[in-house]
Amino acid sequence: MHHPGPPQFMAVGESVQLAPRDPEPDDTYTWRVHTAPDASSLELPTDQSVVQFDPDVAGRYVLELDAPDGTHTLTVRVFPGAYLPAGSVRSGSSGMSGMSGYSGQSGSARPMQFSGGASGSGSGAGEAQRGEGGRPRIRLDATVEADTVVVRADPHPNPNSETDRDDLVVEFLVDDRDDVDESAVETEGWELRVPLSAIGDRLRVHAVAIDETYSVPDSVVVERNAITDGGLAEPETDVTGHTDGSGSAVSVSRPNDPPAWAQEVTLYEIYVRGYASDDDDAETTFEALEKRLDYLESLGVDCLWLTPVLQNDHAPHGYNIVDFYDIAEDLGTRDDYEQFVEAAHDHGMRVLFDLVLNHSAREHPFFKDAYKNPDSEYYDWYEWQDNGEPGTYFDWEFIANFDHRNLDVRRYLLDAVDMWADVVDGFRCDMAWAVPDTFWQEVHDRVKSKDSEFLLLDETIPYIADFHDGMFDMHFDTTLYFTLRQVGRGDEPAARILDAIEQRTEVGFPDHAAFMLYLENHDETRYIVECGESEAMAAAGALFTLPGVPMVYGGQEIGQRGRRDALAWKHARDDIRDHYERLIEVRNETPALRNGGSQFRRIDYEADSDRVVAFVREHEDGSYLCALNFGDDPVTVDVGDLAVDSTNVISGDSVAAEGGIRVDDVVICPLA
């Protein structure tokens, strides 16, 4: 249906783009304000299918959208401007076109200090917008008790807040899309209750925690699934174990939880036009890549991210797309690509598709028709500057930004999403900060309705906590990336790495958010080149010992020095590859180093060098001391009264030393 999506939480001073979902561009859609706070004079344009909602006062708004399938209501809860999270402005439109600040072509390069606006950090730990207190966090869960759905919130204050947890306020919204008798909904404190008899097929509840500002929202879904042949329906997620007494089973799911499989993998980025270009016998690039799968399996990789594989212009990175529905001719055919994906699956690997929804290449036939031609049917597909040039970022000269206010653009991109989601296991979403967040919410719901285990990974620099609200499952940990670079260069002490991990919570990410850890990618100078070999060995250890999902950029594990060069397989560094292979193996074998049920904890330690950092990863199946040394010389680390088995599980050797443990680059020791 064309309903615009979930209810929204925002503050005065923020703006959000609202649009009908699954649009038919030739149909008519009309917006209006149904109810608003008494002091509001807000009106919505009646001649636009996609509108920008800019609330003028705080309160509760109910908007209406007239669509071909009926009239839909959307609730928006607007908080006073004083509650606006520090540094946060929602990405309402398509970003800020015409910006400069980054020289060069597109290719998913990072936007330096800009990311569409949001709390986060783009240059290392410690620069988050904290304000007084900072954003709280919230988690929702639901159960069925005596034929009543009970939704319970679990709020927590920001680590920097002096507010007592018991003083946090929770505000709930029931999703306007669901058939629910709202008069039967009761809220008290941190609980919402509604009888099963007042619910149709589904109940979706959204909520925020409120302190000096409000949290990233969380959601929970309760569904009634028909029982077939006297047995329980098979839900996509956790079952409550209850029935409603009328021939239905009741299931509960948490749509903001990342897929379980995605939190345990080692991710590997393949730059498609350089990774296997030395294979002269392969008929296509995909065949050459397929022949590398045995190597990747032996390394321990179990999820692949390929840079864009669609038809593109002259730039080999592939991000300047000229056809969103066809595979690049120089790589192979769609059948070749699907065969590669199937072969990867046979090797136990998932595959991520690099999804570009912000722009097309200027060589795209639609743009070529529209350029300097206001009469073109595609002219309104793009953003335009006053000088007649297309909207773009950082002076990139080969791309043009789509205008997501155009329903034809949305239809075109959503159809591409549908096509490729059927082929792969997830999307790595390029320049996510430059696409309206409500459009990402539609993409999220669209792919998850077909496969709840589909992964959505956002490239947003700096990261945006609000992007975990029904948009993305996993986020580039940009703060840790920049911090590791600072530490590797010697600009910051190694202990800043611990600050980077804790900053996730400080900027408001919920505890259930997942993060991708990386040292380099196709946009960045190789870590070993910028920081050095000893530093690179320690940084590799950081990827596999800190909480998150490690990502290895193709060639990183063999000491590759060129960013996008053909991989120098004949000059591969076996010592570096062995290091990575063992780190992957140890992480896979050690629950404390993975995400399920493990915890990260600071400890007191002493060392003669600030190039060393130590911490503990805890799990009920065993806890471990982890220590990283970014210096050239071994360092002895004194961990005080912490009882440690001095066997380094990476090497199997003892690292016992007078006064503590010896750390060459990476040490992982069981706690006694």
Catalytically active residues are 430, 459
CA angle at 247 for the pair 242 and 248, rounded to the nearest 5°: 50
What are the DSSP calls for 468-525, one per residue?
GTTT-SEEE-HHHHHHHHHHHHTSS-TTHHHHHHHHHHHTT--TT-EEEE-S--TTS-
Amino acid at 412: Y
Report whether 361 contacts 314 (CB < 8 A): no
156 φ, ψ (degrees, to nearest 5): -140, 140
Do residues 470 and 256 lie in contact, with contact meaning Cβ atoms separated by under 8 Å?
A: yes
Q: How far is CA 15 from the centre of its chain?
A: 21
Give the separation between CA 618 and CA 512, rounded to whole angstroms. 17
Q: Virtual CA dihedral for 500, 506, 508, 510, nearest 10 degrees?
A: 70
CB 214 within 8 A of CB 83: yes
Rounded to an integer, what distance in angstroms lies between the CA atom of residue 92 and that of residue 90?
6
What residues form DSSP beta bridges with 172? Answer: 207
DSSP state of 414: H
- Tell me how long the chain is: 672
Q: Where are the beta strands (DSSP E) in 110-264?
A: 137-145, 148-156, 169-174, 186-188, 191-195, 202-210, 218-226, 239-243, 248-253
Q: Structure tokens of 581?
A: 């292979």
From first CA to last CA, the distance across the chain in angstroms is 58
Helix (H/G/I), strand (E/B), else coil: 15: coil
Instruction: Give the separation between CA 199 and CA 222, rounded to whole angstroms.
Output: 9
Asked if residues 508 and 215 have their Cβ atoms less than 8 Å apart, the reply is yes
Peptide bond into 670 cis (omega under 30): no
Half-sphere exposure of 461 (CA within 13 A, CB side): 19
Can you give the three-state secondary structure of 449-463, one letter per residue?
Answer: HHCCCCEEEECCCCC
Q: Which two tokens stand for residue 118?
A: 């949001």
